[in-house]
């Protein structure tokens, strides 16, 4: 049997693990069942590219527990078939490779995690923070992420001189030291002024010019910010991911949901390419689809 010959080759000549060999065997037997189910006269020699494409399409349309097979799984099965046919060609068992011109499905980018506006309202308006410097700072960090969409590294690197109250903008230094200006409104202005007042009263003498600081006056570090964001987001959401980047995603999604132009959101986020920003349009569209499915009687 040709499949057994191939698996022996993987075991003895390529030293593949048993787990990998079993995976190859499963994929190849599935395909064999597929084409013999179409026509009992077909064999590995007479299978053509159209049959392989039909197999790929059947895999993509297969549902398990209400979910379609992921493109990565389909591509893995196609890779097994491709390797098998290369083996058959070299050994002279077939004269052509029907998989050579078949492209697998594109890997879709995972949609970003984001909080609903109601969850952000609850976080900033209802969750209680301590009235000391630490509580004020932690809430200010959450507001800053949500109101500006800045990255974790940009927030940590922020200095006092980067916040211009007269012009109502914040200067951040992003990837590859590229700087950009992010405007802010009255609500964030008020929160920033309160934070600065509490910070300066708590630590009147500081060695650091950092805008956000620790209790000892030093600049923040990534793990500290990540943990405080995760702890506070856990109070309002059950999302698996609860990181500063989720708040960046939330900022972008909220802007687009309120009719902001994609190009403007791109500039605010500091993206090099509009294609990077477009993933948020997919997010808002997915949200619309969910609303439609829940609300329409024939959905």
**For residues 80 and 24, is the Cβ–Cβ distance under 8 A?**
yes
Task: Convert the pLDDT of each residue in 178-232 to its tens digit.
Answer: 999 999 999 999 999 999 999 999 999 888 899 999 999 999 999 999 999 999 9
Q: Alpha helix (H) ranges present in 100-185?
A: 117-125, 133-148, 152-156
CATH topology of domain 2-90: DNA polymerase; domain 1 (1.10.150)
Which residues are known to be catalytic?
A: 151, 175, 245, 248, 271, 280
**For residues 185 and 192, is the Cβ–Cβ distance under 8 A?**
no
Domain ranges of the chain: 2-90, 117-295
Distance of alpha carbon 114 from alpha carbon 280, whole angstroms: 10
Question: Among positive and negative, which fits the CA dihedral 213, 217, 218, 223?
Answer: negative
CATH 1.10.443.10 holds for 117-295: yes
Per-residue model confidence (pLDDT) at position 96: 92
- Which residues are within 8 A (CB) of 232 and not within 5 positions of it... i.e. 6 or more apart? 123, 127, 138, 142
pTM flag (> 0.85): no
**For residues 248 and 151, is the Cβ–Cβ distance under 8 A?**
yes
Using 50, 70 and 90 to split pLDDT, how confident is the model at 66?
A: very low
């Amino acid at each position: 049997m040709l499949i057994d010959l191939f698996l022996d080759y993987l075991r003895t000549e390529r030293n593949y693990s048993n787990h990998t060999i079993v995976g190859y065997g499963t994929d190849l037997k599935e395909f064999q069942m597929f084409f013999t189910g179409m026509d009992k006269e077909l064999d590995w020699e007479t299978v053509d590219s159209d049959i392989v494409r039909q197999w790929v399409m059947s895999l993509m349309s297969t549902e398990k527990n209400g979910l379609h097979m992921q493109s990565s799984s389909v591509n893995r099965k196609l890779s097994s078939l491709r390797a098998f046919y290369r083996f058959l060609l070299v050994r002279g068992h077939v004269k052509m490779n029907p998989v050579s011109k078949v492209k697998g499905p594109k890997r879709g980018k995972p949609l970003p995690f984001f909080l609903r506006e109601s969850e952000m309202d609850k976080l900033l308006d209802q969750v209680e923070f301590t009235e000391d410097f630490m509580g004020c700072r932690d809430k200010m960090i959450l507001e800053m992420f949500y109101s500006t969409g800045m990255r974790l590294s940009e927030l940590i690197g922020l200095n006092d001189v980067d916040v211009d109250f007269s012009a109502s903008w914040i200067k951040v230094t992003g990837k590859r030291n590229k700087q950009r200006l992010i405007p802010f409104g009255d609500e964030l202005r008020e929160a920033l002024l309160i934070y600065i007042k509490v910070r300066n009263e708590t630590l009147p003498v500081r060695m650091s010019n950092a805008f956000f600081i620790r209790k000892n006056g030093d600049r923040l570090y990534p793990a500290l910010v990540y943990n405080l964001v995760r702890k506070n987001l856990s109070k309002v959401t059950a999302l698996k991911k609860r990181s500063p980047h989720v708040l960046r995603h939330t900022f972008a999604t909220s802007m687009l949901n309120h009719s902001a132009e994609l190009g403007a959101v791109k500039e605010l986020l500091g993206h090099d390419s509009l294609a990077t920003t477009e993933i948020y349009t997919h997010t808002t569209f997915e949200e619309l689809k969910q609303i439609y499915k829940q609300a329409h009687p024939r959905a």
